Structure 1
Amino acid sequence: MTASLAELAPLDLHQSFQDFVAARPDGETWELVAGRFLMQAQPNINHQIIAGNLDRLLTNGIERLGLPRISLQNPAVDLRPALEGHIYVPDVAIIDAAEVEPGRNVVSACFLAAEIISPSDRRKPAGTKSRKIEIKLLGYEALPMCEAVLLVEQHAFDITLSERTGSDWARRRLTDPDDRLVIASAGLDCRLGDVYARTMLVRASR
């Protein structure tokens, strides 16, 4: 991962971005990354299945811990004041339940963010030197409330977990379906294969 902090704080475009999104047709998903408006590709079926699996596993973990948090898919997360010029839409995130209010469509932080990597995530936004997913990972890690970030490959059993350890972050990669994916802060303890349940990848491995 080679994203630089200079790429993470270019411009304050938050209000103009939100005005732009409000004027776009329903069904489009846009992000503000390094001050640039980027449209997300329509997720394929495997992508959607993995997102649903993660949402369910994280919801179960939160409920076991009795935390005042909620897991949901595709929330908009405004990274200010930690970073200017960045509003991300993770595929799944854990947010503060107190931020769920009528009419609200952007939250101020997340405790966990999960990104299911698409080809567009590996491209470098115009004017930057790093891939989109590298910039977003560093952005999530800059959020004081964020405790964990998951980067999930779609076409292989391959998840990178970045987890806060004090003032630092520890990253580890899991590639065996029987590896344990454990995130204590989210009450998550499952097989890696559980994240990919019912996908084409699981059917092909049988």
Structure 2
Amino acid sequence: MASRPDEEKWELIEGCFVMQAQPSIDHQIISSNLDRLLNDALERTAPGRIAVPNPAIDLSPTIRGHTYVPDIAIIDLAEFEPGQNVVGTLYLAVEIISPSDRRRLSSLNRRKIDVKLAGYEALPMCEALLLVEQRAFDVTLSERTGSGWVRRRMTDPDDRLVIASAGLECRLGDVYARTTLARARR
């Protein structure tokens, strides 16, 4: 890994290194929109937390041999120090779905995104997961409750996306602002 270029992103899944594909421009726009929306909400409601793009999340000791890199994660400001790039506390994971996320990992015969979601759900501090399709207005929000995970799917740009633990309330269309999908809709 040390010999690979810095711009490459890798994840450790089931003890195997898996390279992340280069994201599309729409993927990056959605990521930027969510980063801004989440950080604006967190400043108002949870100033000890921050939304960060592409942090490495160490799932140990919950799941050994796993380091995932969500597109955006809400983490604890007090948990990291200068130069650190891996954290263990994750409150929200955002995955913007790329075709590579739907590939099956040969060692597990499961889709990469399904393996990652199970890993996030296993983290005791994880409060919510957000899956965002980049080619359609289609978002699934999973939130932890006392009895498990509750999922809500939104497909209309005027649907309200509310993530209580992050203090976020916006239109689904705000997540997709300035993407080719949003521009085609106008």
Shorter-chain TM range is: over 0.9
Alignment of 1:1-206 (within 5 A): 20=1, 22-206=2-186
Residues 60-100 of structure 1 show CA distances to partners (whole Å, capped at 9, x for unaligned) of 11011143011110000000111111100000110000123
Counterpart AA for 1:171: R
Uncovered stretches (5+) of structure 2, i.e. residues with no partner: none
Q: Distance in 1 between matches of 2:34 and 2:93?
A: 11
What's the offset of the Cα at 1:195? 0.2
Q: Distance in 1 between matches of 2:161 and 2:46?
A: 20
What's the offset of the Cα at 1:105? 1.0
Q: Distance in 1 between matches of 2:124 and 2:145?
A: 12
Residues 104-129 of structure 1 show CA distances to partners (whole Å, capped at 9, x for unaligned) of 11011210000000001001112112
Instruction: State the TM-score, normalizing by the size of structure 2.
Output: 0.97
Larger mean CA deviation between 150-159 and 160-169 belongs to 160-169
Equivalenced residue count is 186
What's the offset of the Cα at 1:167? 4.2
Q: Distance in 1 between matches of 2:143 and 2:46?
A: 21
Q: Distance in 1 between matches of 2:91 and 2:65?
A: 20
Residues 161-197 of structure 1 show CA distances to partners (whole Å, capped at 9, x for unaligned) of 1100114001111000000000111000000010000
What's the offset of the Cα at 1:33? 1.2
RMSD: 1.0
Larger mean CA deviation between 64-73 and 137-146 belongs to 64-73
Q: Distance in 1 between matches of 2:92 and 2:19?
A: 22
- Aligned partner of residue 48 in structure 1, secondary structure: helix
Q: Distance in 2 between matches of 1:24 and 1:107?
A: 22
Uncovered stretches (5+) of structure 1, i.e. residues with no partner: 1-19
Q: Distance in 1 between matches of 2:23 and 2:7?
A: 11
- Aligned partner of residue 93 in structure 2, secondary structure: strand
More helix by share: 1
Q: Distance in 1 between matches of 2:46 and 2:17?
A: 37
Larger mean CA deviation between 113-122 and 57-66 belongs to 57-66
